[in-house]
Amino acid sequence: MSEAAEQTVRTPARLKITEIFYSLQGEARNVGLPTVFVRLTGCPLRCCYCDTAYAFSGGEWMDIASIIDEIKKYKTMHVTVTGGEPLAQKNCIDLLEQLCDLGYDVSLETSGAIPVDNVDKRVVKILDIKTPGSEEESKNKFENFEFLNAEDQVKFVICDENDYLWSKQVMAQNQLDDKCEVLFSPCHGELEAASLADWVLRDQLNVRFQFQLHKHLWGDKPGV
């Protein structure tokens, strides 16, 4: 084996990381639980309401072993891998698998714009479907619905009533509430939470209404 080939074999898998932090889970099924968040750098989307644009670039390269060492500093078994768009980095798949092997309760926050078929089945996938109000509706890969299981969740961030009606239609056409839990979330600063709650109750939807707990506690600052 050549020296160059040996170096390639020995190079550990790396990921570009924006931040690793410990906070309360602010959304989805595990809301309120102390969680370690691993935020990967980079995203192919530019949603108009994005609150993590600081993760589009920059970051620090870390090998997976170092990432896991950082996670182990915190006394929780809940880990959320997020972004940006974490699946934009191919080594994210390896990180997820290794965390599951270590017994962590792992969730993945993904835009749904990248295939999820090779994500470890032990990972809870939180698929954030892009509504028209996001201005990235065209990036949705609805074929990802085929790879959902009962533990996964589909989230719609809703900016206005048009988004709400669109989300209802997508949910019904794909029978999403039969596949997994569906989350309806008001876009922070765009739609009053009470308005969305009223629509959900009026139409008796089989969804979980939610809003971003961490923003109500700490605002829009990073690392919370």
Residue 144: left if φ>0, alpha if ψ -120 to 50, beta else—which one? alpha
224 within domain boundaries: no
Given a cut of 90, whether residue 216 has pLDDT beyond it is no
- Residue 119, beta-bridge partner list: none
Pick the closest to residue 85 from 57, 60, 121, 118 (CA basis): 57
201 within domain boundaries: yes
Which pLDDT value is given to residue 184? Answer: 98
Which distant-in-sequence residues (6+ apart) come within 8 Å of 53 by Cβ? none
95 and 55 Cβ atoms separated by less than 8 Å: no
Given a cut of 60, whether residue 6 has pLDDT beyond it is no
165 within domain boundaries: yes
| C-alpha count within 13 angstroms, C-beta hemisphere, residue 201 | 6
- H runs (alpha helix) in 84-209: 92-101, 161-173, 176-179, 193-202
93 within domain boundaries: yes
223 within domain boundaries: no
Amino acid at 86: P
Question: For position 92, which CATH number holds?
Answer: 3.20.20.70
Which distant-in-sequence residues (6+ apart) come within 8 Å of 33 by Cβ? 24, 25, 76, 78
Q: How many helices (H) and strands (E) does the chain have?
A: 7, 9
Number of domains in the chain: 1
Provide the edge-to-edge strand list for the sheet that holds 60-63: 60-63, 14-24, 34-40, 78-82, 105-110, 124-129, 153-158, 181-186, 208-209
Distance CA 218, CA 160 (A): 24
209: helix, strand or coil: strand
Encoding tokens for residue 93?
Answer: 């798949």
Domain residues for the domain of 24 are: 12-218
DSSP letter, residue 141: -
Encoding tokens for residue 73?
Answer: 């500093």
Distance CA 150, CA 170 (A): 18
Please report which confidence band the pLDDT of residue 223 belongs to, taking 50, 70 and 90 as the band edges. low
> What are 149-169's pLDDT values in tens digits?
999 999 999 999 999 999 999
What do you get for the CA distance between the two ends of the chain, in Å? 47
> What are 15-73's pLDDT values in tens digits?
999 999 999 998 888 898 999 999 999 999 999 999 899 999 999 999 999 999 999 99
Q: Average pLDDT of the chain? A: 93
- Residue 177, beta-bridge partner list: none
